[in-house]
Chains A and B, each alone.
Chain A
Amino acid sequence: MKKILFISRHAPYGNSYAREALDALLAASAYDQNLSLLFMDDGVFQLLPNQNPTFIHQKNMAASLQALELYGIENIYCLSSSLIERGLNQTDLILENIKLIDTITTNSLISQQDQLISF
């Protein structure tokens, strides 16, 4: 079993990176690997509540992220400094089980992985 970390660094909807990260992660969940997901930089905007992309004809990212637990993906991390820089805090986020980590912990999280997949 491999340890694979998905790193999501882009805001939702403006381009397809955020959606593709999630699709790839969900696809990978079918192969019984040790998967983790890290949000950093503008990726943390994916975690905001009250998203409603109906009028720009896209699927709601927040709704899809809430399905991760059903797929058995429980190791979900967020770089705390990325939140602070954007004036957000943990109570703003849609995922209750998300783990806020600092830069040193992020470095060790990354260094423990067999594979990194960046979006």
Chain B
Amino acid sequence: MAILHTINKSPFHVSTMNSCLLICSNLDSVILIADGVLGAIHSSPLALKIEQLSASGTRFYALQSDAIARGVVEKLLPNISLASYADFVRLSVECNQIQSWF
């Protein structure tokens, strides 16, 4: 059963994103929103974990407006897709459950 995970905290600051990535499966999708987009940059402490999960099938997204706001679009890891608000809604409907990490 697919879960959509939303994360809104920077992994440089708190361990919220780490907890999410520990429990999420290869069927799940993860969308990084607000300060969560900072976890999707090359220097992210969870870059390796994102790479591993991504290779196993987990899909990763960063909310485009939040990435643009923070000036990090050019710094995003290659396995992160930019998502519009419409994409966010679509993902929310497609997944069976939504788990918010905040």
Contact = CB atoms under 8 A, between A and B. Distances in A.
A51 B69 contact: yes
A11 B72 contact: no
A50 interface: yes
A87 B43 contact: yes
A3 interface: no
Interface of B: 8-10, 12-13, 34-35, 38, 41-43, 64-66, 68-75
Contacts of B68: 52-55
A27 interface: no
Nearest to B41: A87
Nearest to B75: A87
Nearest to B43: A87
A11 B35 contact: yes
A42 B42 contact: no
A15 B66 CA distance: 13
A95 to B, nearest CB: 14
A42 B10 contact: yes
Contacts of A51: 69-71
Contact of A53 (B69, B72, B74): B69
